[in-house]
Amino acid sequence: MPMTFLSDSAVIFDIQRFSLHDGPGIRTTIFFKGCPLSCMWCQNPESHKAIPEIAFYTESCARCFDCMAACTRGAIIENISERIDYSKCDVCGSCVPGCVHKAIGMIGKPWDIETLIEEIKRDKDYFDDSGGGVTLSGGEPMIYSKFLQVLLPAIRNESIHITMETCGFFKWEQMINLIPYLNIIYFDLKHMDSAFHKLYTGQDNDLILKNLSQLSVEFKGLQVRFPVIPGVNDDQNNIIATAHFLKNHGQETIHCLPYHNMWESKIPRLNTRIKPMFQKTQTSDNLLHIKQIFFKEGINAIIYE
């Protein structure tokens, strides 16, 4: 079942200002921490857990072990590639300021509504001048739907454009109260075969397809996206099935997002079981082939470089 959290705060692991690729104009992108899916290719593996985490950046470590003196739980260990015994760590964060080399960092912290609104308003002049706004990303923003029920009206009260990126795995009743405040929804469609979807993401796609069907009727600002993952969903059968589903639900366009493997460099920093995929980024010829298949099925595929 989809995760849900309380309305008074949300864990956010990054806020990127002056973003140009997450919607129209200049945008501030807010990355919520936590996701009901566990996609093998996730570009933000630090977003999977909906709690703050301690990360170790091996390349920055000077092996001075000032962090050891700062830790009150005895969770610091002397290992070249590791520094934290996560079985002892309670994520108190005392080791973070204790490392002057910034080899230990906190990923994510709770934000309340008022503080987040003030942070967003700092960029309003840029939004107004460029036709930009706020993009809610992650992780998955919808796990904080109760928080968003308070946040989104407050953002719109400032006349700020709102885009949301979602994996689509949420209860419809969580979305229905948010629709009036959203301008654009980027909806990821990862695989049409439910068994393969569960294999690669940890969840089947039944709820996702149901929500996409509903949004196709209820929301005019829907934009479907297709992360193109080599050897996972880029075969002809899946692309044709995706195109047919889109056509049957009144969609004429899909935004194709090419896979890249930069996320793999984050894995050693985290307390995670995620493994590298060892996949290469698609070639231009491969992406053109995908575009042509969609075109033959009556769907305009927009390829992102």
With a CB cutoff of 8 Å and minimum separation 6, the contacts of 180 are none
How far apart CA 139 and CA 131 sit, in angstroms, is: 25
Task: Give, to the nearest 10 degrees, the angle between helix 284-296 and helix 236-248.
Answer: 40
Can you give the pTM of this predicted structure?
0.93
How far apart CA 226 and CA 247 sit, in angstroms, is: 15
CATH architecture of 53-106: 2-Layer Sandwich (3.30)
Mean pLDDT of the chain: 93
pLDDT the model gives residue 6 = 53
- pLDDT-based confidence at residue 81 (cuts at 50, 70, 90): confident
- CB-based burial, 240-260: b 16+ in 10 Å, e otherwise: bbbbebbeebebeebbbbbbe
- Write the CA distances from 265 to 159, 231, 269, integer angstroms: 38, 21, 8
Q: What is the tens place of the pLDDT at every residue in 252-281? A: 999 999 998 889 889 989 998 888 888 877
Terminal CA-CA length for the chain: 34
What is the torsion angle, in degrees rounded to the nearest 10, for the CA atoms of residue 179, residue 182, residue 188 and residue 189?
A: 40
The answer, yes or no, to whether residue 143 has pLDDT greater than 70, is yes
pLDDT the model gives residue 260 = 87
For residues 75 and 84, is the Cβ–Cβ distance under 8 A? yes
Instruction: For the chain, give every residue range classified as CATH 3.20.20.70.
Output: 9-50+108-303
Q: Which residue has the tokens 């008022």?
A: 114
pLDDT the model gives residue 198 = 98
Instruction: For the chain, give every residue range classified as CATH 3.30.70.20.
Output: 53-106
pLDDT the model gives residue 3 = 58
- pLDDT-based confidence at residue 79 (cuts at 50, 70, 90): confident
pLDDT the model gives residue 280 = 78
pLDDT over 70 percentage in the chain: 97
Q: Among 17, 89, 24, 23, which Cα is nearest to 51's?
A: 89
Q: What is the tens place of the pLDDT at every residue in 158-216? A: 999 999 999 999 999 999 999 999 999 999 999 999 999 999 999 999 999 999 999 99
pLDDT the model gives residue 262 = 87
Question: In CATH, what number does 9-50+108-303 get?
Answer: 3.20.20.70
